Amino acid sequence: MQFAVRTLAPDMSIANLVVDALDAQDARRQVEARGLFVSAVEPARGARLASSRGARLSLVLFSQELLALLNAGLGIVESLEALLEKESAAPTRAVLERLLGGLREGKRFSAVLAAQPTLFPPLYIGIVRAAEGTSDLPRALTRYIDYQQRIDTVRAKIVSASIYPLILLMVGGGVSGFLIGYVVPKFAEVYQGAGRNLPWMSQLLLDWGQFASGHGTAILIGTVLAIAAIVAGVRHLRRSGDMGRLLRRVPGIGERARVYELSRLYLTLGMLTEGGITIVGAIDTVQQMVSPHLAKNLQAARAAIESGQPMSNAFEANGLTTPISLRMLRVGERTGEMGPMLTQSAAFYDGEIGRWIDRFTRTFEPLLMAAIGLVVGAIVVLLYMPIFDLAGDMS
């Protein structure tokens, strides 16, 4: 957020500065560090806009660049200084300046990250805090980059699988709307002067076309409002966490949605435990990232683990396993390699989800194309059916 700061220099000159800071106290601290006296601090105009721009920091890109500099032999402060020098975007420069300011004050890197919770999630802060205990920050960053790329890969498959059906629906809906709103009324005008009784399905289509032509504006507004309401409802379900619960009730998709949730859960737990965080601490971190239903089951599993039960039994009792993952968890308990086993379970789930998406798209897309073709074809046939009847009578 940006603050307008009124300052007084040692030479008694007065100036007005605009500073990017977390709050007014942080802005005052930054200005006083420059050797200036602060007389007034207030939010600058457009501060909310600047804050939202700063929130667009890409954690993966930031981690990749920081990892490259650390592997080159630079320290954390030198690496951040190098990133600051090459950065031209003001919001990102403000984030880097706050990180450097905290490190120069002697704070730990995880504490500096935690001071900006809107940019750095608890998961990221947790792996950095664990890396500070082992002095192995590059390995932690590598683990996070791999984790995020795997999450993005599965998400990209889901998005790409939904793009083509959406395009088909838009094109099919547009063609059908054009036929109903423009072509059908033109045929209705021709048939009205023919003085013939039309087939009842054709007459129904013509009546609907005339209605759509006469109330086109109202229908268009209603369609836009309905689409906006659907989009708003989906966003609300995603924010409230009810989207997963709704998907779990859909036949055929519910089990896949559960597997997808378990994949993210296992992958995150595996990354945290491999980074040196205990399973109880990892569960505490993950609970803030999963749906309310899964968080409730995780809380019960955490209590069972603290009471002395094996992790596999606790997860099985609370519906957090499948037959395959349960066996892998038990192998991890016997070998002491729970982190790698969690990661391998997530990889197994990811492969299963990817294969199911491929099968679903190969089946659904042809069916959708056939349905759109049937709708458009039915409209055309019903339009020309009276002409076929007339040609039959003439022959």
- For 337-356, write each residue's pLDDT tens digit: 888 888 888 888 888 888 88
Mean pLDDT, residues 6-17? 70
Measured CA to CA, the distance from residue 33 to residue 5 in angstroms comes to: 13
User: Please, what CATH class does the domain formed by 153-395 belong to?
Assistant: mainly alpha
- Lookup: tokens for 129: 């805090």
Measured CA to CA, the distance from residue 189 to residue 191 in angstroms comes to: 6
Give the 3-state secondary structure of 315-356.
HHHCCCCCHHHHHHHHHHHHHCCHHHHHHHHHHHHHHHHHHH
Contact (CB, 8 A) for 143 and 160? no
Is the predicted pLDDT of residue 313 greater than 60, yes or no?
yes
What are the extents of the domains in the chain?
2-53, 57-120, 153-395
Is the predicted pLDDT of residue 49 greater than 80, yes or no?
no
Virtual CA dihedral for 236, 238, 242, 243, nearest 10 degrees?
120
- For 129-166, write each residue's pLDDT tens digit: 888 877 778 888 888 888 888 888 877 887 887 888 88
Mean pLDDT, residues 34-39? 74
Lowest mean pLDDT among 125-134, 263-272, 364-373: 125-134
Per-position DSSP letters for 155-203, written without gaps between them: HHHHHHHHHHHHHHHHHHHHHHHHIIIIIHHHHHHHHHTTT-PPPHHHH
Measured CA to CA, the distance from residue 377 to residue 69 in angstroms comes to: 61
Distances (CA, A) of 23 to 29, 34, 44: 10, 18, 12
Give the CA angle between residues 169, 175, 180 to the nearest 5°.
120
Closest among 284, 290, 285 to 302, alpha carbons compared:
284
- For 167-217, write each residue's pLDDT tens digit: 888 888 888 888 888 888 888 777 776 566 777 787 888 888 878 777 778
Is the predicted pLDDT of residue 281 greater than 50, yes or no?
yes
Q: What is the pLDDT of residue 248?
A: 67
Q: What is the pLDDT of residue 189?
A: 77
Task: Report which of residues 300 and 288 the model is more confident about.
Answer: 300
